[in-house]
Structure formats: C-alpha cells, structure tokens
Amino acid sequence: MQRRKLGKTNMDISLMGLGGFHLIELSEKNALEIINRYLDRGGNYLETAAGYGFGNSEMKIGKVAKNRRHEFILATKSIERKKKELLSSLDESLKRLQTDSIDIFFLHEFGRHEFVDAASGPDGALEGLEEAKRLGKIRFTAFSSHTAPEVALRALKLYPFDVIMIPLNYFDRFNFPTWESQVIPAALEKNIGLLAMKVFADGFLWKNWENALRYTLSLPISSVVIGANTLEYLEKDIEVINTFKVMNEKEKELLFFNAPELGQYVCRQCDKCLPCPEKIDIPRIFLLEGQWDRQLADGVVRDPGEYALRDRLRFWFGNQDYAQEAYNKVNPNALSCTECGECIPRCPYHLPIIEKLKIVHEKLTDTRPPVKIRII
C-alpha cells in the first residue's frame, strides 16, 4: 500500500488507516481477522479511542499489538480535558492495548471553545500531553475535531500539535468549507500531519462511496482513516486506494454539480446568487444552516430508510448553539427577503432559495433542544 510522510513526525503512513470504531460491532474473532488482514495488505496505521465501546476497541487491537506491535503506528484518544484525568485515561488505554507507549495520542473531539479553554488552562490536558511525552508514554500529540474549523484553527495556534484529524468529504465541504480553505493550509504551513476522517460523511455517501473516497484522497492529506466491519468492505476500500487517480478540478466540479446527495438543496457556496437587493448574505445564512443540521432537513418526503439515515445524521455534531448564536448576529436575516426572485435564475444548482431561506430561519430560531425537534 502506498505510503506518505505524516508531517513533522517523519513517519511513513499508509494511505489508508484502519479506524477502530466499527470493531466494537464485531466479535473478537471477526475483529482480529479484519485487523490482521489490513496489516497483511500493507496497512500500517491502527487508530482507536478509549471511548469506543468503553475500551472494547482498544482491547481488540491490543490482542494484535501483543504480537505485531512493531508493524504499525498505533494511535488512541482521550476525551479528558484535565491533566490528571488525561494521564489516568492514557494508562488505562496502555493496559488495554498491551503496550507501553502510544505513537500518536489524540485529544478526542476537540471541537468546542470550552474544551480548548479547559485543556489549555492550569492543570489542563495540554500539560498532561507534555507529562506523557516526558514519561515516554506517547511520542506525538494530536487532536481530532468533528464540527468547528474555527476551534481547530485556535487550537493550532495554542499548542504545537504534531498531527490533526478532521472530517473531509465532498458533502460536508459545503457545510464546513473552512476545513479545506483554512485549516488544511494552516496545518501544512506548520508541517502538521493531516489525517482525514468521515470520508463517507458518516455513511451518507454510501451510494457514491468510490467517488467519495477518491475525492478525499485527492486532497493534500497523509492518510484517510476508514473503519470496516467486514472483510469485503475492507478489500473494496483497499482496491480503490491502491488504484486511485487524483481527481482533477473539472471532475470535482462535475461531482459537485451531479452528486445526488447535494441535489437541488445544498448550497455550494459559489456566491452567484449575490448581490441581493435587500443586502441579505444568502450563502452565509445557508452556511449556518450547514452547521445547524448539515442542510439535511429540506422538507422533502422520502422513503423510510433514507429519512431515517438523514434524521440520524442531522445533529451528529452537536454544535447547533454555535450556529444559532451566529445567526442572531446576522443582519439583515432571512426574514428580510421580499421574494423578488432576482437570485433564483442566478443559482447554477437551481436551489429554491426563497423557500430555503424560510426553512433556515425556522431552524436557526427554534428554541427547542435539537433532540426534541424530531419528536415533539
């Protein structure tokens, strides 16, 4: 399997890393079979987290690490934000993984300003990372962030992380475009290793998975981290990775135009709808909708299976409050639309802009907790 340098770690990492989340869905026998097959096929990056099945994923990887630890880069994560708790979590992970050191240790889900405040304060997790390095328990430091590029940018300024892992796919590109436009360049400038997760947008892109994988592989990353719960899926992923060709800009534009998951509702942030006579920043408002629920609730009635998937993934990230706080400061907001219709023919993707503005305003001014929006 092709390998690339992982930033300033100077480690060579396989183009596909095996994520450990889906291992919790499997029996130990099947999980070990997948891990060993991945290593046999040339993969060399195994990643897990203390929170995956309350340590279940780590224990399964530990069964392999016991005999093959020298063959791969090992990474795990902790959700803890304070030094003492972080070090305790690390020690428990080391026991489950049956090793005395972790190659890359992540601050898990580092996606809210409150988390950064706690971790960077007195006796915070950043102090814990330094202590763990001093004790030889970890080699490199990292964080994963699922939801807020602006938080990641702040974290990159606060501490010299070696690696970051961020969600990169052709769907959420239009909900969180700053991952590509700002976070990737900031990381590359500091020679920080870049790992991509959520390649299939949490399964939403399952019908178009090959294009999804090829798109993310074409970004300036070191590796894509993908989970697998069957040998068949693992082999399919490896086959595409071993034969993929970089997607050029024309191919990307065609994908953005034709992808059914984007359809005629998701704003592509091209700004061609502007200027608005009422000075409404239409793309900005739709961007906040992307942060709110990934633009997944569009008022279209679908079959039960597709509805269930979209509804499950709407509030996957949990930063709805950030979106609402930002929308409260938008002036003029969506209600200022006079329905003049000037924007409609300008949109190359034929979005129902006037109706979408109404939907977005309802979303971003709803006072119910997100979980209640679905059931009450």
Q: Are residues 130 and 181 in the same domain?
A: yes
Q: pTM value?
A: 0.95
> What does the pLDDT read at residue 374?
66
Residue 164 lies in a domain: yes
Cα(333)–Cα(349) distance, integer angstroms: 22
Residue-wise pLDDT for 117-144, tens only, equals 999 999 999 999 999 999 999 999 999 9
> What does the pLDDT read at residue 375?
57
> What does the pLDDT read at residue 171?
98
Q: Are residues 247 and 288 in the same domain?
A: no
Residue 272 lies in a domain: no
- In this structure, what CATH number is given to the domain that contains residue 84? 3.20.20.100
Q: Are residues 91 and 44 in the same domain?
A: yes
Residue 48 lies in a domain: yes
Q: Are residues 128 and 196 in the same domain?
A: yes
> What does the pLDDT read at residue 373?
73
- Work out the pLDDT band at 163, boundaries 50, 70, 90: very high
On the question of pLDDT at 267 being above 50, the answer is yes
Long-range contacts for 93-100 (Cβ within 8 Å, ≥24 apart)? 93/50, 93/55, 93/58, 94/137, 96/55, 96/58, 96/59, 96/62, 97/48, 97/58, 97/61, 97/62, 97/65, 98/62, 98/63, 98/65, 98/66, 98/69, 99/62, 99/65, 99/69, 99/74, 100/136, 100/137
Cβ contact 150:178 at 8 Å: yes
Residue 266 lies in a domain: no
From 254, 274, 306, the end of a domain falls on 254
**pLDDT mean over 192-198:** 98
- Work out the pLDDT band at 314, boundaries 50, 70, 90: very high
Residue 132 lies in a domain: yes
Q: Are residues 234 and 368 in the same domain?
A: no
**pLDDT mean over 317-338:** 94
- Work out the pLDDT band at 351, boundaries 50, 70, 90: very high
**pLDDT mean over 35-41:** 98
DSSP string, 256-304: HHH-TTTTTTS-----TTPPPTT---HHHHHHHHHHHHTT---S----H
- Percent of the residues in the chain that have a pLDDT greater than 70, as a whole number: 99
Which residues neighbour 177 within 8 Å (Cβ) at sequence distance 6 or greater? 269, 287
Q: Are residues 244 and 364 in the same domain?
A: no
On the question of pLDDT at 335 being above 90, the answer is yes
**pLDDT mean over 258-269:** 97
Residue 267 lies in a domain: no
Residue 128 lies in a domain: yes
Cα(142)–Cα(162) distance, integer angstroms: 6
Helix (H) or strand (E) holding 246: none
Q: Are residues 241 and 343 in the same domain?
A: no
Which residues neighbour 288 within 8 Å (Cβ) at sequence distance 6 or greater? 323, 326, 327, 330, 360, 364
**pLDDT mean over 299-307:** 92
On the question of pLDDT at 371 being above 80, the answer is no
Residue 261 lies in a domain: no
Cβ contact 4:223 at 8 Å: yes
Q: Are residues 207 and 306 in the same domain?
A: no
**pLDDT mean over 316-336:** 93
β-strand partners of 165: 144, 195
Residue-wise pLDDT for 65-82, tens only, equals 999 999 999 999 999 999
Q: Are residues 179 and 84 in the same domain?
A: yes
- In whole numbers, what is the pLDDT of the chain averaged over residues? 96
Q: Are residues 153 and 250 in the same domain?
A: yes
Cα(78)–Cα(250) distance, integer angstroms: 40
From 254, 271, 295, the end of a domain falls on 254
**pLDDT mean over 356-362:** 98
Residue numbers of the domain that contains 297: 282-375
Q: Are residues 248 and 133 in the same domain?
A: yes
Q: Are residues 202 and 145 in the same domain?
A: yes
Cα(371)–Cα(376) distance, integer angstroms: 9
- Work out the pLDDT band at 376, boundaries 50, 70, 90: very low
From 202, 236, 254, the end of a domain falls on 254
Q: What total number of domains does the chain contain?
A: 2
β-strand partners of 107: 78, 143
